[in-house]
Structure 1
Amino acid sequence: MAGCGNMGGAMLSRWTGGELPAITVVDPAGIDTPNRVRHVRSIDALKGERYDALIVAVKPQMMEDVLPPYANLLRPGAFALSIAAGVPTSRISRLLGDLPVARVMPNLPAACGQGMSAVFAQEGITASQKILVGKLVSATGEIAWLEEEGRIDMFTALAGSGPGYVFEIMRALQEIAQARGFTPAEARQIAVETVAGAGELARRDPRSLEQLRNDVTSPGGTTDAGLTVLRRDGGVGDLLEKTVDAAFDRAVELR
């Protein structure tokens, strides 16, 4: 594994099961690694060793300098799995001597096994390699396999950045609760558990999100009064659409 930043570390924490391959991490920083994970600070420590796969978790601006030497560590038939945001598989493949590349766009809840990730695989990725990628990514949560790499930018705007939108809603709920007299701890618990509970119910209940919303909304009741405000002047739907579009536009700029 080349590099181990926040997202790399989050995913790595889930890749320690006995059914998954052992992993060696190369990162100049001192990092805490889970069981069965070896950490070295320099690629020089791996001279003479050969690997079947390379996980790319390097910052995009470091790719050109960092990746090429890793091509010498890979066995014939190896592949790369990239978790680097905004970097197309074609660029990574070129830097690694035309190695086939699979690309995953995870989100932060991968750290607790509740992530939502999109995966795209180049044509050169074999069926067995896809199975391995599936095992690695499913250890962090749910997977959406994409046929077109270009769709990752929209996935990034929706699910990659999505936790940030949800955290902002939770933060606002906490702030409002505190302003209405709840302690900071109480206000945080109210915000977090309200969102977590609603999400878990939506996961377990097959009914549409619209139906779930209607079930909690009695005509003329408190929720109805609140939703009336949320729907005013285009409502939260229009605001979220603008939010997602802005994130998508930025993802395209960073490509």
Structure 2
Amino acid sequence: MSTRLGRILLLGGGNMGGAMLGGWIAAGIDPSDVLIVDPNPGEAVRPLIEERGVRLAASVPAEPVDVVVVAVKPQVMADVLASLQPALKPSTLVISVAAGKTIAFIEARLGARPVVRAMPNTPALIGRGITGCYGNEAVIPALRDATTTLLSGSGPVEWVDSEALIDVVTGVSGSGPAYVFLLAEALAAAGAAAGLEPDLAMRLARHTVAGAGELMIRSDKVPAELRRAVTSPNGTTQAALEILMADDGLNALMTRAVAASVNRARELAKD
């Protein structure tokens, strides 16, 4: 990452803040350019503070910055945004990763300025995340490029055409890692129920999920083609897929699950 983005304030040092920060530093952001504001930072950011020289403060200092990344829970956004004024310049770019909180909500508290809503996910911690973004009209191409440069430190960045679609991104990729972890849990539990030792069943499930995910990333084939390549006619995989692909199977369940996540994100906008 060769572009210097100036002084960056990361508001919130929890799991997501730590995941993004680790990606930035791995991609070449100078740790001395970053200030974390969090009275109780999480485990993910403590090594970066102790070993890499990222600065930490318990509250927002009167120190204007170029970029603010707001990585706090939606329920505390109003109070957190109110604390930001000492660090803001008219040109400061604000990037929010809080689910459900709209650009209008942020502008109402910080005034007219460049604002991006972003939705990363926790694989950002190992540089394998993906982030969806939408910016207001003040996010000119140079600021869009700066946002992409910053957030791509932890994986690909995708821009959507409307703010409403950020809630859908939340339901698919923002919450998606939890669905995949649950899949591994369920697969291991099913293996144990069928007779495997639980530890062995879990190892098989973890490596199967991780390996299949890596294969999807590396292959130029769509998932449906990869699935068909594993499925022999009248074989063992087909027998299992007849259950998973039934009318009330995985597709229907996942559609309901994503819709529930999207709806909750939209409810958070009203809180």
Q: TM-score, normalised by structure 1?
A: 0.91
AA partner of residue 180 (structure 2): V
More displaced stretch, 141-150 vs 59-68:
59-68
- 1:214 equivalent to 2:238? Answer no
Provide the aligned length of Structure 1 versus Structure 2.
252
1:154-180 Cα offsets, whole Å, 9 max, x none, are 111111111111111110111122233
Q: 1:202 aligns with which of 216, 225, 230?
A: 216
Q: Which aligned pairs between 1:24-173 and structure 2 lie closer than 5 A?
A: 24-31=35-42, 32-34=46-48, 35-43=52-60, 46-47=61-62, 49-173=63-187
Using the alignment, how far apart are the partners of 1:69 and 1:98 within structure 2?
17
Tell me how far 1:151 sits from its aligned partner: 0.4
Residue 239 (structure 1) shift = 1.6
Q: Does structure 2 conserve the Cα–Cα contact (< 8 Å) formed by 1:13 and 1:111?
A: yes
User: How much is the aligned-residue C-alpha RMSD, in angstroms?
Assistant: 1.8
Match of 1:238 in 2: 252
> Which range moves more in the overlay, 122-131 or 68-77?
68-77
Aligned residues of 1:161 and 1:247 also touching (Cα < 8 A)? yes
Seen in structure 2, the aligned counterparts of structure 1 residues 4 and 220 have a Cα distance that, compared at 3 Å, is same
Matched with 1:5 is: 14
Task: Say if 1:217 and 1:78 are closer, same or farther in 2 by CA, change over 3 A.
Answer: same
Distance 1:136 1:65, change over 3 A: same
**Secondary structure of 1:134's match?**
helix
Taking the aligned partners of 1:18 and 1:222, their CA distance within structure 2 comes to: 43
Identity %: 40
Question: What is the CA-CA distance between 1:33 and the residue it aligns to?
Answer: 5.0
Deviation at 1:18?
A: 6.9
Contact 1:116–1:143 (8 Å) recurs in 2: yes
- Aligned partner of 2:24 in structure 1 is 15
What residue number does 1:251 align with? Answer: 265
Select the structure with the greater relative contact order (CA < 8 A; seq sep ≥ 6). Answer: 2
* Cα 1:231–1:19 shift into 2, 3 Å: closer
Q: CA deviation at 1:30?
A: 4.5
